[in-house]
A and B are shown apart, each in its own frame.
Chain A
């Protein structure tokens, strides 16, 4: 009962403060950004600069054939403001280096959008230069790939790629072998590949894919930061010392603070999740994991704050932990980058579990396992924090 009445009292105080409303305002802003500024389907921003080293008529024929197939679409020409610049280009086979120097000027290029014939989605935007030098300086200035497509007297196609230099050997090797003397044979071989998919697994669209990141980083993880701010505020105002002479125990005080943060996180995360995801997620699991993970991060915050007198002194630890916890976002957005060491960061399974929850076919075992891990970890940290605070009696 004491715990509950303390919680309601703390909630009343929080509702009178600025922070609670900022959290809600922040969640509304994120929701507006998600609904207005984030497209459900990703739009390719890939660009390439091309020069066709072949007779004009043949070049037009090649392009028109792609347009007729629906793979290319002519759009408005693009103007590029070219800077006065000088640079060197190295031929990777011969080692020969050629120096280029250009004056500032404005170049207008024919621009095409290239579409995937199967899905109809935009693959990339291609800019066609009138001469090879323009293509090379554009590839250099814009830091994008550039290529010359040439046709020799025998009608054979060849390619000169202008790479930036940081491309991996594997990628360059791939560029080499993708262009061989028998492109038709290769196309037929690709078509004949047998592909088996283990399941019809649902994928999240661009907007939905952002929900776990926002809930984890703006919700659960913020509990870690905010609980520390709450503790130091109370400490500054002498609330902690006053608490020491009341019949209530320290763990109840700490839990009350954590419960206020859990309430704030539940409200702000609901504002973001419900309008974007509708009824798709398993909300029981969603709120279970959200509350448990916020509790675990808040307990971590309590534990860390027990080692420092002021928020200024705790700031270093706070900052380093917050940033470290954000690193798994790289793996979340680049699934092929998934080193083993990254899986030990608590936010890695948390992001994956949140993702599982908002999908139709949730991996229940995975989510419940990590919910149990976060609960266990949270309880342990809470007990340790309580022990530390009781020992120092200063909270």
Chain B
């Protein structure tokens, strides 16, 4: 059986080289990886934005530039127009002998707090030399935001490969290939598994390249490959079930939309739920895959935890497979 699956897989590999889609699916996560690398510093560099007048005291401008993103405007009207735009921007303008802080009115309190503190610090002449604080650093260079985005990219790649498998199976069903397989030495199951492995391989390649681009080359690769392989099984099951459960592309599209709920829910649950409520997400294999990836990316993973997470992904994927078996059998007939 394995050799037949491998033969179908090799055939798919050859076909994929002629098909631009498979190449695109490898390339796209890579492009997003470049995107993450380019714009996460901008996302991270967001303390507070301050609008100042060109005519303001130079020392005031230079002082605030040490702590905030400063934009300079020619006149008061321009400043007010800028403050009224949709993002969070505080203006600090001279009024009499002092300064006035101008806000649009819908900014989070932290923006007002920052603006008041910074101007007050300038007014009392506070500087780094008089500080009572000392700084120590663990030397981490990657922000949690970047880790979260890369982890989301991995989850999306898994979903994408599942989607690819589903659409490919729906296509074969439309062409009646799955029925035609009955008259060949290859069984229907071997044929579908062989086809599905292609999506899994593409996911693995995309994930590895994306990790290199985003700068995660010093992570534990054995761990990430183990998580990747179990995620591959997850994407196989998802694509397999979706593809066989759908009669046409519209149904496959609807099924893809439905699968977004557990994926997005698992990410939101892991990131936002309090520790005591994390158990409510244990049912989702995407939760365990996301958790394992996060631990590896943040270099805080240990083997027992990774084995537990990958084991859970595997067990839950098999549960999904066996629950969907009647539907799969129906789809194959």
Q: Do A and B bind each other?
A: yes
A interface residues, Cβ below 8 angstroms from B: 17-19, 22-23, 26, 29, 33, 45, 83-84, 87-93, 116, 119, 139-141, 143, 156-166, 168, 170-182, 185-186, 189-190, 192-203, 222, 225-226, 229-230, 232-233, 236, 310-313, 315-317, 319-320, 323, 327, 330-331, 334-339, 352
Within 8 Å CB of A203, what residues of B? 106
23 interchain pairs (CB within 8 A)?
A26-B261, A89-B138, A92-B137, A159-B134, A165-B139, A170-B45, A171-B47, A173-B66, A177-B131, A179-B133, A182-B126, A186-B117, A186-B126, A190-B120, A194-B98, A197-B102, A198-B83, A233-B250, A312-B21, A315-B164, A316-B25, A336-B48, A352-B86
Q: Pick the contact of A161 from B98, B133, B142 — CB < 8 Å?
A: B133
Given A92-B137, A177-B127, A233-B250, A312-B258 contact (CB < 8 Å): no
Q: Mark B109-121, 1 if CB is under 8 A from A, else 0.
A: 1011001111111
Task: Kindly identify, within residues 91 to 141 of chain B, every residue whose CB is under 8 Å from any CB belonging to chain A.
Answer: 95, 98-107, 109, 111-112, 115-121, 123-124, 126-128, 130-141
Are B121 and A178 neighbours in the complex by a CB distance under 8 Å?
A: yes
Within 8 Å CB of B49, what residues of A? 336
Please report the C-alpha to C-alpha distance between residue A83 and residue B118 in the assembled complex, in whole angstroms.
39
Are B116 and A335 neighbours in the complex by a CB distance under 8 Å?
A: no
Are B124 and A160 neighbours in the complex by a CB distance under 8 Å?
A: no
Q: Pick the contact of A156 from B132, B133, B137 — CB < 8 Å?
A: B132
Are B28 and A198 neighbours in the complex by a CB distance under 8 Å?
A: no
Within 8 Å CB of B21, what residues of A? 312-313, 315-316
Are A194 and B131 neighbours in the complex by a CB distance under 8 Å?
A: no
Within 8 Å CB of B28, what residues of A? 316, 319-320, 323
Chain A proximity of B294: nearest CB distance (Å): 10
Within 8 Å CB of A143, what residues of B? 140, 144, 298, 300
Within 8 Å CB of A330, what residues of B? 43
Are B141 and A165 neighbours in the complex by a CB distance under 8 Å?
A: yes
The reply to whether the CB of B167 lies closer than 8 angstroms to some CB of chain A is yes
Are B117 and A178 neighbours in the complex by a CB distance under 8 Å?
A: yes
Nearest B residue (CB) for A84: B302
Please report the C-alpha to C-alpha distance between residue A202 and residue B164 in the assembled complex, in whole angstroms.
44
B interface residues, Cβ below 8 angstroms from A: 19-21, 24-25, 27-28, 31-32, 35, 39, 42-49, 66-69, 80, 83-84, 86-88, 95, 98-107, 109, 111-112, 115-121, 123-124, 126-128, 130-144, 156, 160, 163-164, 167-168, 171, 174, 247-255, 257-258, 261, 265, 272, 274, 298, 300, 302
Within 8 Å CB of A327, what residues of B? 35
Within 8 Å CB of B117, what residues of A? 178, 186, 190
Q: Pick the contact of A170 from B66, B134, B258 — CB < 8 Å?
A: B66
Q: Pick the contact of B138 from A33, A140, A196 — CB < 8 Å?
A: A140
Nearest B residue (CB) for A310: B171
Within 8 Å CB of B248, what residues of A? 233, 236
Within 8 Å CB of B167, what residues of A? 311-312, 315
Are A166 and B102 neighbours in the complex by a CB distance under 8 Å?
A: no
Given A18-B254, A22-B254, A195-B112, A189-B136 contact (CB < 8 Å): no
Q: Pick the contact of B132 from A33, A180, A334, A338 — CB < 8 Å?
A: A180
Q: Pick the contact of A337 from B42, B99, B118 — CB < 8 Å?
A: B42
Within 8 Å CB of A116, what residues of B? 109
Known: A89-B137, A236-B249, A312-B167. 6 other contacts (CB 8 A): A29-B261, A160-B134, A179-B131, A193-B116, A232-B249, A336-B88
Within 8 Å CB of B127, what residues of A? 177
Are A198 and B84 neighbours in the complex by a CB distance under 8 Å?
A: yes
Are B134 and A91 neighbours in the complex by a CB distance under 8 Å?
A: yes
